[in-house]
Amino acid sequence: MSDIRANRSTAPVLGGPGALKSTSVPLSQLYKLALLDLDGVVYRGKDPVEHAAEGIRNAERLGMKISYTTNNPSRYPHTVAEQLEGFGLTVADNQVITSAIVAARMLAAALPQGSKVLVVGREHLCEEIEKNGLRVVHKAADKPDAVIQSWHQDLSWAELAEASYAIHAGARYFVTNKDLTIPREGGIAPGNGAMQIPVTVATGVTPEASAGKPEAAMYDESRMLFSLTDDLVPVDLSLPCGDRLDTDIEAANRGGYDSLVVLTGVATPQQIICADPIHRPTYVTTDLRGLNMPQPAVTRRADGTYQCNAAVATLTMRGDGTGELSVAIDGVDTPAPDTLDALRAACTCMWHAVDVEGVDASRVSIPDFPQQLRGCDTAAGDTAAGDVTDGDSVK
């Protein structure tokens, strides 16, 4: 039997990829397990993300297993599964891994059995903590050994005050996740990380550990919990997919996973192009239809430009350290390029300049990419437009 890993390219890892990888087959045929974030990837609050269910169903048809990993600790897995089924998906409860589940296991490892934990959060988190042999309290007067702070949409000043009182009295401070923002139906709203700022200001204490992404434990725990009745899916055949560079993608890089970033949530093309190594994805796509597409190669041409199919990225630096990244499509300069191939070429061009030439990305002007890019409507099994052959492939 051939090794499916032979169908992907390699890229240097500097805390994260130094170049995007390419594949000769769809990602859903190359990786056995997709670890999908939810908010901004599959749904926004109550609303489905465009094309997400379509992409997931097609990936499953091609043999990929799906696990849903979310930093949202407020909802039960069965509630999430019911919502996803409303989008036309088939989802078992054990396919949904929340930061509440991982946080409870984290606390059980850090605290003696029977320790009291002040919970800022909903019933799901409380129940998971109790399942792991710890006692849940809600008042600082109960003298908790630790505080665990999570997000829920009715979070109150009184809850943050009780957490602060307990931490002042010596309780250890843990959090389920550090997301500064969360995509909702109406737009981008403050997340758990933003709600930790008042507690840190009041106490002078920062959380000692976080269960959710960007810690890689979320993905590691997900593989273990998801694979209870099967052989554990190895890291190099698991593909985290998310919309945030500072959580989903950073967690993947910390854990040694390849990753896919989508443009349906928080991350913008400009942020991806200028990302630090730890925040760089392995692959980029508009939405989850990208799971079922080969990922085209970016090649470095003899003149130092970078080409992905019809898109060519060029970085021009000036003597004062400023520069301009430009993109041409079919030979025409394009100030607002709207294709995934243009983004792929631009990313690899900028990442090479930063990593190898010491360019400061913050001093480079970037093309005005729109948030939604063309290039995600190729059917699974079709090859992308002809691979570029001149120059050396970026490896």
The token pair that represents 2 in the structure block? 């051939």
The token pair that represents 215 in the structure block? 């810690």
* Cα–Cα distance for residue pair 144/110, rounded to 1 Å: 14
Task: Tell me which residue of 62, 93, 97 sits closest to 251, measured CA to CA.
Answer: 97
- C-alpha angle 60/65/67, rounded to 5°? 115
* Cα–Cα distance for residue pair 90/81, rounded to 1 Å: 8
* Cα–Cα distance for residue pair 218/45, rounded to 1 Å: 21
The helix/strand/coil state of 143 is coil
Annotation marks residue 93 as catalytic: no
Helix axis angle for 192-203 and 157-168, nearest 10°, is: 50
The token pair that represents 129 in the structure block? 């903590």
Task: Tell me which residue of 79, 152, 160, 97 sits closest to 121, measured CA to CA.
Answer: 152
Determine the residue type at 347: C
Sole residue written with tokens 């840190």: 200
* Cα–Cα distance for residue pair 39/44, rounded to 1 Å: 5
Annotation marks residue 37 as catalytic: yes
The one catalytic residue in 3, 39, 93, 236 is: 39
Active site (catalytic) residues: 37, 39
